[in-house]
Amino acid sequence: MIKVFKHDGGVTSEVDRVDPAWLKPNSGVWVWVALESPTPDEARVLSDVFHFHELAVEDALAEVHHPKIESYGDYLYLILHGIDFQASEHCFTTKDVDFFLGAQYLVTVHAGMSRSIDKIGYVCTKDDRVLGEGPGLLMYRIVDTMVDNYLPEIEKLGERLDEMEEEVFEKPNTALARRILDFKRDIASLRRIVLPQRDAVGRLARREFPLISEQLAYRFRDVHDHLVRLSDEAMFFQDRITSILDAHLSAVSNQLNQVMKVLTIIATLFMPLTVLTGMYGMNVHLPHLPGGEGAQFWWILGIMLAMSGAMLAYFRHNRWI
């Protein structure tokens, strides 16, 4: 699907084709072309009308690419990723949105739906100022919305991390270890997307490209700030999840300790008793304890209880129980 928005003389209107004359420097016309999952036919506008470099066009139409920014002289080519965290809370997906920014135009290319672009596309014809402030500021608006969408997902990740930290000491187990490992991979994936994104926007903010005005650079500095915080957060998460994996091992060892203490207590309580009963089961003449025949059993029982009590007192003393 292809949409063309044109801003001329203070009015934004949706048109159905791009007039190459608009694209000339200082044409007085601002154009936004939004390509959503373009057909090969629709995609031809990139090379035939805009004459973008074939490698950039290839990248824009290909499926997945890492975030980057490239200057082709009179236009910039920027790839960013929108986040799409699955409801199943397990798999982390991002979709790339491609931007071509020229002095008079912005071209966006994305596969599937993009909430950010749909939203801006919707207000674009309602509010003349959206495109009326130029294609650079329009790109800023889209990028800003995309980056803002990361924040709630990051918060969710933080909450999952808190839960895991809780759980690791409650009931460490293999399934939890597996989830920690999965989570760690997710965080690493996030970092791998956010870092190049941060660097690409940082280059916009530092005004490495003449196309970016000082006012626009202030805007991108703000987006860059958000991305710096995101990547900080991701680094911080990665650090925490590594500690949690270490703590898990510690917790498992602690649990093992507890189990072994139970076993040791049981063994220590009952093994001497076994020997005692074994002695009175020997087919030899046994020493007679005070009292009559019937009292023997109770004497032995008493000795057994006394032994057990002493053992328990000893364990209590060592804080084992």
Contact at 8 Å (CB) between 149 and 83?
A: yes
261-267 long-range contacts, CB within 8 A, separation 24+: 261/320, 261/321, 264/320, 265/311, 265/315, 265/320, 265/321
Whichever of 121 and 172 has its CB closer to its own copies, that residue is 172
252 binds its own copies (CB under 8 A): yes
Whichever of 13 and 250 has its CB closer to its own copies, that residue is 250
- Helix or strand holding residue 110 (H, E): strand 105-110
Instruction: Select the residue interacting with its own copies from 277, 303, 313, 321 (CB under 8 A).
Output: 277
Q: Is the dihedral of CA 61, 62, 64, 69 positive or negative?
A: negative
Site string for its own copies, 190-229 (x = CB under 8 A): --x-------------------------xx-xx--x--xx
Q: CB 65 → its own copies: shortest distance, Å? A: 8
Site for its own copies in 107-146 (CB under 8 A): none
> Which part of the chain contacts its own copies (CB under 8 A), choosing from 11-19, 89-97, 107-115, 175-183?
175-183
> Which part of the chain contacts its own copies (CB under 8 A), choosing from 14-22, 82-90, 146-154, 172-180?
172-180
177 binds its own copies (CB under 8 A): yes
CB within 8 A of 119, min separation 6: which ones? 145
Beta strands at 11-15 and 75-85: parallel, antiparallel or unpaired? unpaired
Q: CB 18 → its own copies: shortest distance, Å? A: 24
157 binds its own copies (CB under 8 A): no
Instruction: Select the residue interacting with its own copies from 63, 281, 290, 317 (CB under 8 A).
Output: 281
Contact at 8 Å (CB) between 3 and 86?
A: no
Instruction: Select the residue interacting with its own copies from 9, 86, 274, 290 (CB under 8 A).
Output: 274
Instruction: Select the residue interacting with its own copies from 9, 40, 290, 294 (CB under 8 A).
Output: 294
Q: CB 143 → its own copies: shortest distance, Å? A: 14
Instruction: Select the residue interacting with its own copies from 62, 113, 123, 181 (CB under 8 A).
Output: 181
Instruction: Select the residue interacting with its own copies from 152, 254, 305, 316 (CB under 8 A).
Output: 254
251 binds its own copies (CB under 8 A): yes
Whichever of 61 and 188 has its CB closer to its own copies, that residue is 188
- Helix or strand holding residue 80 (H, E): strand 75-85
Whichever of 88 and 274 has its CB closer to its own copies, that residue is 274
267 binds its own copies (CB under 8 A): yes
Instruction: Select the residue interacting with its own copies from 29, 49, 245, 312 (CB under 8 A).
Output: 245
CB within 8 A of 195, min separation 6: which ones? 231
63-72 long-range contacts, CB within 8 A, separation 24+: 63/111, 64/96, 65/96, 65/98, 66/192, 66/193, 66/196, 67/96, 67/193, 67/196, 67/197, 67/200, 68/196, 68/200, 69/200, 69/201, 69/203, 69/204, 71/208, 71/209
Site for its own copies in 44-83 (CB under 8 A): 53, 55, 59, 65-66, 68, 70, 72
Residue ranges of the alpha helices (H) in the chain? 40-48, 54-61, 115-126, 128-132, 135-148, 150-170, 174-205, 214-280, 293-317
Count, residues near its own copies per rule CB under 8 A: 88
Instruction: Select the residue interacting with its own copies from 48, 155, 159, 246 (CB under 8 A).
Output: 246
